[in-house]
Amino acid sequence: MVYTIENDRMKVQMSDRGAELMSIQGKDGTEYLWQGDPAYWGDRAPNLFPYIARLTQGKYTVHGKTYEMDIHGFVKDSLLEAESQEADRIVWKLTQSAQTKKVYPFDFVYRVCYALEGDTLQICFSVENPNECPMYFGIGGHPGFCVPLDKDLRFEDYYLQFEPKDAPNPVRVGISPTCFVDGKDREYPLEAGGRISMNHHLFDDDAIVLTKMPKAVTLQSDKSVHSVRVEYPQMEYLGFWHMPHTDAPYVCIEPWSSLPSRQDVVEDLATQPGLIRLEAGGKYENRWSIRIS
């Protein structure tokens, strides 16, 4: 089922499946969110929990037991409850079930709040830990945005603009050809003014995953008034992606709290570097935003 929130600047729709964003439209009718096409990528904006990206052999261990989990966790495939809704705000909720316990042994309360403020969609991920022990997880977003945003422009007319523009170059996380962390991190030089120009070959080696990066980036073109700005002040990592070796007309801007498994390591969640450790009775929140213009 699709739900809608809107104000005088924008209209946002999302599905109860994964609380996935389905549409972000300006009042002039411009669609900013990728609308999904199986020829390139059938999703639009999955929410990622309790793991980011791939597990080695699709497995992990915790408390001495081994579990299997699909890429990006199970929220993207779960039906969430609309816990509360107003004209410009909605809160989605998911708790543990027999199905989630098969792949993730913890009890949890997971929420996604979407709230409109002018031309900005404010997003808050929250997790509560009702267990009597710490729980471990990663959390993030995977929204795809239309490129071009104007039908008469080309993919190559766009660029990603980091802010501040004079920030040091970020670090590209070393990712193996099989999409696992390989430890070969290196500086990722930006173009003058803190840009990455769009071209389809950027993604021939799959996602570009950055760390130590500026905490705001804008997808824009000097030939258009339409742009998308994503801010992610609490996220340690940022991925850019579209389906490799295609002319896919979108780019994903993915704020992540953590990374995939290390190459050839079946991770123990209690010891994997970078995962969030939430103590018994604790609550975690992570706020980020999408602004259109």
Residue 29 contacts by C-beta under 8 Å, 6 or more apart in sequence?
A: none
Size (the chain), residues: 293
Burial 162-197 (b: 16+ CB within 10 A, else e): beeeeeeebbbbebbeebbbeeebeebebeeebbbe
pLDDT of residue 206: 94
Taking the C-alpha atoms of residue 218 and residue 227, their distance in angstroms, rounded to an integer, is 7
pLDDT of residue 106: 98
pLDDT of residue 99: 95
pLDDT tens digits in sequence order for the chain, 293 residues long? 999 999 999 999 999 999 999 999 999 999 999 999 999 999 999 999 999 999 999 999 999 999 999 999 999 999 999 999 999 999 999 999 999 999 999 999 999 999 999 999 999 999 999 999 999 999 999 999 999 999 999 999 999 999 999 889 999 999 999 999 999 999 999 999 999 999 999 999 999 999 999 999 999 999 999 999 999 999 999 999 999 999 999 999 999 999 999 999 999 999 999 999 999 999 999 999 999 99
pLDDT of residue 250: 98
Cα 123–chain centre separation: 11
Instruction: Classify residue 146 as exposed, middle or buried by CB count within 10 Å of its CB (0-12, 13-18, 19+).
Output: buried
pLDDT of residue 277: 98
pLDDT of residue 281: 97
From the list 258, 274, 269, 264, the residue with the least C-alpha distance to 56 is 264
Taking the C-alpha atoms of residue 98 and residue 31, their distance in angstroms, rounded to an integer, is 38
pLDDT of residue 5: 98
In this structure, are residues 73 and 140 in contact, taking their beta carbons and an 8 Å threshold? no
Pairing state of beta strands 276-278 and 109-117?
unpaired
H or E element: which one contains 66?
strand 65-68
Half-sphere CA count of 34, side-chain side, radius 13 A: 26
For the chain, domain boundaries: 2-292
pLDDT of residue 72: 94
pLDDT of residue 93: 98
Half-sphere CA count of 136, side-chain side, radius 13 A: 14
CATH code for residues 2-292:
2.70.98.10
